[in-house]
Structure 1
Amino acid sequence: MNERTAPLGDQQGLWQAVLAAAAGRCQCRGTCGKNHDKDGGRCPAVHGGYGHRHGTGPIRLLAAPADPTSLLLPAHQAAALPKRALAAWCPACLDATTRAVRKARQVAAPPAEPDALF
């Protein structure tokens, strides 16, 4: 897959539209836990570019829900989101944001009541 070749499941050009709207750059603004201050508050990862670690290979941006709380939607619901509800994410920011949302949801959930035996 070269710099602008769409993923196999992108028959309607949704991924390409999301990538074009993002100008080929990850749209994370710190929800991953990094502040991205050195880069104007936005992740510096560019589609087709290389990560800051040696040997990471080219970065492939993903189209995923822009709202971090929507990252936990089931796959069939996330796939049905309109283009305006999607953003371009680098894998590192997407994974970190998803972990943060899961952790926040677990902390906010009330503790499970133990079953009463008597």
Structure 2
Amino acid sequence: MTTRTPPLGDTEGLWQAVIAASAGRCQCRGTCGTSHEKDGGRCKTVHGGYGRRHGTGPVRLLAAPAEPADLLLPAHKAAALPKTALVAWCPECHDATRRAAAKAQQASAPAAEPDSLF
């Protein structure tokens, strides 16, 4: 694994703690829609490694909420989550899980009644 360069805003070492707890590997277990079956049920993407697609460059893992529904929280609420509620995500799994959570939230929302004219 390559050197772990923290983001500029990681003044308290939160990102470093989350990445260290994950051993520098994405912690997605299929919430992104990919089974990750060939890799033991967990995404194989490592911090500093290369992405699945040609030309994507080195992957930088994100420290983000573990629960898919929490990925939809506003930034100020997500930033207030405790370290235990965060996991390491590769950008591909993070984005796919966030889209799936948004789609599920939208499907479970009650249908809005149309405005009546009279």
Query: Does TM, normalized by the shorter one, top 0.5?
Result: yes
Q: Which runs of 5+ in 2 are unaligned?
A: none
Instruction: List aligned pairs for 1:45-60, cutoff 5 A.
Output: 45-60=45-60
SS in structure 1 of the partner of residue 64 of structure 2: strand
Structure 1 moving runs of 4+ over 4 Å: none
**TM-score normalized by the length of structure 1:** 0.96
1:68-100 Cα offsets, whole Å, 9 max, x none, are 110000000100111000000000000000000
Equivalent AA in structure 1 for residue 58 of structure 2: P
Residues of 1 paired with 2:114 and 2:82: CA distance? 41
SS in structure 1 of the partner of residue 52 of structure 2: coil
2:8 equivalent in structure 1: 8
**1:99 and 2:99 matched:** yes
Q: Which runs of 5+ in 1 are unaligned?
A: none
Residues of 1 paired with 2:61 and 2:3: CA distance? 10
Aligned CA RMSD, in angstroms, stands at: 0.9
2:116 equivalent in structure 1: 116
SS in structure 2 of the partner of residue 63 of structure 1: strand
Equivalent AA in structure 1 for residue 34 of structure 2: K
